[in-house]
Copies of this chain bind each other. A is one copy, B any other.
Amino acid sequence: MAPPTPTRHRKRGHDPESVLSIAVGVFNERGYDGTSMEDLARALGVTKSAIYYHVPGKEQLLARALDRALDGLFEMVADQRAATGTAIERLEWVVRQSVRILIDRLPYVTLLLRVRGNSATEQAALQRRREFDRFISHLVKEAAADGSIRPDVDPALVTRLLFGTVNSITEWYQPARGASADDLADALMKMTFDGLRGRPAA
């Protein structure tokens, strides 16, 4: 009797989406540079030689994973609601939406935030990230100029601190337990736009 063919068997279920999802988990755990094709093969449960059936190469997976995060942010930027209303309304919508995207695409955004520019793929991702940052920075400046956000803090610092707060969620958020995306976005909006200080009852 022929031996079973575990590799073929295990291959089932590895559509491109699940390959990407598993690979991103490995990248986040071991670091992209510290991940070998052998690590990916092990995580996918295929042999080292079978891995190339699933994955043309590590960097192509990285590019797809980073696009998954960046496409979410740029779809938001292109949305009508990012262009409607006062500057502070648009800024609030964008910050709230960024929290939702971060939680919805948590491993992809986590990976994006660790990119340091070590390859052409990483450079391209950093370029798109800077473009997104410029969009935010522009919104913050507009809101500072019309007086809807406080004038006594440098808008460049506001942009850094505001998205520093959003991005820091990747450091501790666990989807399985804890706050929902909406609760988290509410708490973040209250702290950063209205402030933690208790207000005297009206």
Residues of A within 8 A of B (CB): 31, 33-34, 88, 113, 147-154, 157-158, 160-165, 167-169, 171-172, 179, 183-184, 186-188, 190-199
Q: Given A34-B34, A167-B171: A161 and B191 within 8 A (CB)?
A: yes
Copies in the complex: 2
* Neighbouring B residues of A196 by C-beta, 8 Å: 149-150, 153, 158, 162, 192-193
Contact of A199 among B150, B157, B192 (CB under 8 A): B150
Contact of A187 among B31, B147, B157, B195 (CB under 8 A): B157
Q: How far is the CB of A189 from chain B (nearest CB, A)?
A: 10
Write the chain B residue with the least CB distance to A95: B196
Is the contact region of chain A dominated by helix, strand, or loop, or is it mixed?
A: helix
Contact between B198 and A195, CB atoms less than 8 A apart: no
Contact between B195 and A193, CB atoms less than 8 A apart: yes
Contact of A161 among B34, B150, B188 (CB under 8 A): B188
* Neighbouring B residues of A113 by C-beta, 8 Å: 171
Q: How far is the CB of A91 from chain B (nearest CB, A)?
A: 9
Write the chain B residue with the least CB distance to A113: B171
Write the chain B residue with the least CB distance to A152: B190
Contact between B151 and A161, CB atoms less than 8 A apart: no
* Neighbouring B residues of A198 by C-beta, 8 Å: 88, 147-151
Contact of A33 among B34, B154, B172 (CB under 8 A): B34
User: For the complex, what is the distance from the CA of A190 to the CA of B161, rounded to whole Å?
Assistant: 11
